Structure 1
Amino acid sequence: MKQIKELNPDAEKWLRNISLEMWTMSFDGGHRYGQATTNMIESFNGCIRSARFLPVTSKVEYLYYRSVKLVAERRTQTLNDLQNGHIYCQKSRELFENIEKKASAHKIIPYNEQRGIFEVTTARYKTQKGYWKGGNKHTIDLGKGFCSCGKWSRYHSPCSHIVAGCLMCSLDWKQYIEPSHSLTILYEMWKYEFFPLANRAYWTFPLANNWERYGTLFPDENLKKKKNKRGQRGQSQRIRTEMDNSRKAISCGRCGQEGHTRRSSRCPQNKH
């Protein structure tokens, strides 16, 4: 680990994240398409983050009209792509273009061209931070749609290694793309419609509560995100709970007292 840190200062964080992802994926079964940490609750929390300073009724109204706008825009975009003759959505098209571009630089060694078994060595390249990446070897089996990198089973779309093997065998690599990337499947998600709500005076059912007795409700400006100045660190939007509190008190490694560390000037055993 020490040698890896010297080569890349961010290696420890990268290894911690990749180990967490690998542990999660080992019990996933391929059902979440590579989503190791996010879930529906976090997505909903991201939607209401910008409206959490509003009263409850205003927040519900904000979420409703935001959903109306989102569904209408995505439905229109999907229909326009279908009319223009596209098969996959825009993000999938950009992903496949990058994958095909990377595949052209791979080195392929055929082991059994009839069965589609190859060894693929990725091209070496230098990142913007000056680190060298690539040069990894992967084993692919086109008959089973398998690649040792695990991206095909994780994202349900061919990786650049499988694309390189298909190009060598003159096969159509798009046959390994799952239908979830197609616009027809995407349209099934955005085809449902919202209908305008009638004016409150035309409602045929009584209100559950008499909201007028609470008076006028005002937003809590303290919960609203403040605009940061240039060069200033952005304000965290996360609502902290008791789980964020430190469970272990800080204690000094020399004197054993709490409230300071061994490097602090408050330690009585430090020589001044």
Structure 2
Amino acid sequence: MKEETSKSATHQVSIFDYNNNTFSVKETINHGEGKPLGRYKVNLMEGWCDCGKFQAYRVPCSHVIAACSVVRQDAFLLLSDVYKVANLFGVYSTGFPVLPYDEYWPTYEGDQIFHNPVIRRNKKGRPVSTRITTEMDAYDKLERKCTLCRLPGHNRTRCPNVGTSNN
């Protein structure tokens, strides 16, 4: 609500029908929500805004808050009962039955489902590239040489010339 209230300060509100609480709200600043700036119809009596947030989340959007400020109405009154503390505590007011001991449960005689280990993806290690290589990817690979004797075909750990000395 705080974020929507700060956004509502940048909106221009035009009254269409004061008796039916119908307004036209124009956005003046883009708040980076992925939607272009526009005009939105707000009907406070029906709980309607063209942006759809008010109907979907049952929380006043910035357009509704801007319209409420014009008619000096508290926007928190339009907040759905779902978000109020009394309703939240009401969820936990009912008791839960105690589960019986495991031995008293009836045996399950239905189908048993097992996962297929072949389908499982291996998450360890470097991911394998799925890119298809073409002729433009071909490059001349440098021939690696041993760092001790500078001959190709082996590396430092498998160098045949390690044990020989010319002293």
TM, length-normalised to structure 2: 0.53
Q: Is the 8 A contact 2:15 2:24 kept in 1?
A: yes
| Equivalent pair of 1:117/1:141 in contact (CA under 8 Å) | yes
Q: Which residue of 2 aligns with 1:120?
A: 25
- Could you tell me how far apart the structure 1 residues matched to 2:119 and 2:11 are? 50
- RMSD of aligned Cα (Å): 3.8
Aligned match for 2:50, one of 107, 129, 148: 148
Q: CA deviation at 1:164?
A: 0.7
User: Which AA in structure 1 matches 2:98?
Assistant: F
**1:198 is matched with which residue?**
101
Matching of residue 222 in structure 1 with residue 117 in structure 2: yes
Q: CA deviation at 1:166?
A: 0.6
Quick one: distance in 2 between partners of 1:184 and 1:231?
A: 52
Are the structure 2 counterparts of residues 123 and 230 from structure 1 closer, same or farther at C-alpha, using a change threshold of 3 Å? farther
CA distance in 2 between partners of 1:120 and 1:106 (Å) = 6
The answer as to whether partners of 1:123 and 1:134 remain within 8 angstroms in 2 is no
| Larger Rg, first or second structure (1 or 2) | 2
Please state how far the C-alpha of 1:136 moved relative to its aligned partner: 0.8
Contact 2:53 2:61 (C-alpha < 8 Å) held by counterparts: yes
Q: Does 1:170 align with 2:77?
A: no
TM-fit CA distance, 1:167 = 1.5
Alignment of 1:101-120 (within 5 A): 101-113=6-18, 115-120=20-25
Query: CA 1:134–1:103 in 2, change beyond 3 Å: closer, same or farther?
Result: farther
CA 232–98 in structure 1, closer or farther in 2 if over 3 Å, else same: farther
Distance 2:25 2:43 in 1: 11
Cα separation, 2, equivalents of 1:159 and 1:179: 16
Which runs of no fewer than 5 residues in structure 2 stay unpaired?
A: 129-167
CA distance in 1, matches of 2:4, 2:126: 36
Matched residue SS, 1:143: coil
1:124–1:132: 8 Å Cα contact kept in structure 2? no
CA distance in 1, matches of 2:97, 2:121: 33
Select 1:185's aligned residue among 87, 98, 123: 87
Higher helix share: 1
- Using the TM superposition, name which of 144-153 and 222-231 deviates more: 222-231
* Partner residue, 1:139: 41
Q: CA deviation at 1:104?
A: 2.0
Q: 2:150 matched to which residue of 1?
A: none
CA gap 1:146/1:125 in 2 versus in 1, 3 angstroms: closer
**Higher RCO, Cα 8 Å, sep 6+:** 1
Q: Alignment identity in percent?
A: 17
What is the one-letter code of the residue matched to 2:67? G
Give the number of aligned pairs.
124
Distance apart, 1:139 and its partner CA = 1.6
- Letter of the aligned partner of 1:183 in structure 2? V
1:254 maps to which residue?
none
1:195-247 per-position Cα deviation (integer Å, ceiling 9, x unaligned): 354253xx4x7x4469xxxxxx9x757289657358859xxxxxxxxxxxxxx
2: CA distance, partners of 1:189 / 1:134:
40
